[in-house]
Structure 1
Amino acid sequence: MTPTRRWAGLAYVAPLVVFLAALFLVPLVELFRLSFSPVDTYNAALPGFTLNQYKRVFTEPYFYGSLLETLATALLVATLCVVLAYPAAYVLARRSAGAMRTLLFVIVISPLLTSVVVRTYGWVVLLSGNGVVNRLLVATGLRDQPARLLTSYPSVVIAVTHVLLPFAIIPLTTALGGLDHNLHRASQTLGAGPVRTFLRVTVPLSLPGVVTGALIVFALAMGIYITPLLVGGVTQPLAGIRVYDQVETVFNYPVAAALSFALLALTLLSTTLLAGAFRIWERRLHG
């Protein structure tokens, strides 16, 4: 590549770099600086440097407990999304191009075309005391009175799984759609049945899609807070809600910044470990 073309390429990406630096890196650096600021008795940030905010995050159960709860919830949601996404992705991948495949794909991505607040309020309507679910429970005699579905942890997991499910279906569909069907025919010719072919051929070859979908969902679930907040309420012990509470209720911005960076570090560490574990699994499957 000539120097002229190299500089031309840099000129093309320069606006994007400046845009990301201005709207992402600069606020991130400022938030990181804020996390080391001391506070007065009214939780207002003061000039100076202190580790007290991080000490609180890692020593008070209210904060570090929310980090552990968030990690467990993200792992659960990622697992549920992959399990639920695989059949849908398998059907989409095996469908030939046509109106039905297009319709199915539109249904899959339709949640992404709607505001997350609108989708979440849909769950609020369904799970409320006089919502559809409770009316069905009472009408069928399964309960004498409406159940308290909102503000519960299972409701939060269900709603978050619904919101993030398309992010698992799309990479899985891509991975399954790229498989060579001759491998399935060869497996069956050698005497393997449909189940064994699926477990020994389809699953190992679709593992990149599984890994991609699981990591995307996991990373998004670690930082999600709007859906848990609207469905489960501010009492849910998730780190994103704890950050929201520190900003909107306690007005302790340094602690909120410290908790945010602790959550970011935990997300990066967990994602790295999961990616490594998936890579080891993939090597074992492929010998």
Structure 2
Amino acid sequence: MPWLRAGARDAQPFTVGNRRIYVLPTRFGLFVGLALAVLNLGSLNYNNNAALLLGFVVISLCNNALIAGHLSLLGLRLRTQSAAPVFAGQTLQLPVLIESAKPDGRQLLLEHGEARCALALDAAERRSLLPIAAERRGWQDIDRVTVSTHHPLGLARAWCHLNLHERALVYPAPRGKPLPMQTPAADGGIGRSARDRSDQPHHLREYRSGDARKQIAWKASARTGQLQVREYERASADELLLDWRDLPHLDYEARIAQLTLWVLEAERRQRRYALQLPGVRIAADSGAEHRHQCLQALALMPHG
């Protein structure tokens, strides 16, 4: 229903204010309220002043418990961080940071749909990971996170919504046969003479995340003030081509799963590889950034 959807995105860090806190009685709270109503009606009927006094004292305690639940959330500062990509079927871990001026150990509950995570505010800043099931490849929307508490007596639930409107990337689940030992070269040829890793480097380039430390040219880096990496010329036969067109016997999603597995295996073997998809070609390379680029392209393929 439209009125249940998340509102406008909240700026972070988000401070919980009076107008964002909701309080409603729990089942236990409703039972206590019903019991107090029966007690007071019976006391009035039998003109029992002691019972009336007891009833009103308990009612005042329950009212204070509702106010305490509201104050448990008031003033909290909430921040979230981006969830790291995972494979379909795994669990996204959304980092949530909660700051409180009074770390008194009260219990809070973080929720997103069916995902739940309990924590105790026993420090000025508390970091928790909210586990969110990732069942389908592609972008997964995280519209909002709910922070709630039953503090102090469990008579009522106080909660607040943090509107995120963020997305987390879910890679396809890797499935299929292992990477063949004989794979087409990235340029479509059969290889050419080239230097091996043990020979002199072909040229130097700037350091990229995922490059091996043994490739860093320390002397050249000291001269320039920036990390330089030795780039070796390789035989094209050492560059793999992971091609969508080589899997005509598989259906649409099975091709994506198979190429995902091959990307992971090529990276594990420290091979340079290119990826050919319908309308998309990613040039041969290796490393963490290249792996992410290939897996993201597979994850964002249109759903068949």
Same fold judged by TM-score > 0.5?
Answer: no
TM-score, length basis structure 1:
0.26
Greater percentage in strand: 2
Larger relative contact order (CA 8 Å, sep ≥ 6)? 1
Looking at CA atoms only, which structure, 1 or 2, has the larger radius of gyration?
2
